[in-house]
Amino acid sequence: MEVSKLKRARREEKNRNRSPSVKARKITAAVCMSIFAAAFIMFTADLIRVKQQELPPLFCVPAIRYENGSEDYYGLFYKVWKDFDPFENKTEYYMSFWFIPKNFSI
């Protein structure tokens, strides 16, 4: 009777210590790579749109709107600031990643 308990305990411990299979690792890697590829494509499209054409970003969500007309947009792993100067009637866009402050612009 104790031998069967010992065998069951060894089997349970073996199952607990099992690492993910190769197939599961490949699926996880493919999902992560597709998310990063989509983020890179969105970032590049918004960068071209904001810096060259001076238009608002396409793949970002407006998060904060200020009284002077400025806005903050958030995208997938990046953010865009729209600074509006009412005195000069001028709009400037700044892009950066979430964790980088506004002074460091791309």
In tens, the pLDDT along 56-102 reads 899 999 988 888 888 889 998 899 988 888 888 888 888 888 877 76
Average pLDDT of the residues in 18-29: 86
pTM of the model: 0.70
| Residue tagged 């069951």 (tokens) | 8
The dihedral through the CA atoms of 91, 70, 60, 96 has a sign that is positive
Spatial separation of the C-alpha atoms in residues 84 and 93, rounded to whole Å: 9
DSSP result, 60-95: -EEEEE-TTS-EEEE-SSEEEEEEEETTTTEEEEEE
Polymer length in residues for the chain:
106
Percent of the chain with pLDDT over 70: 91
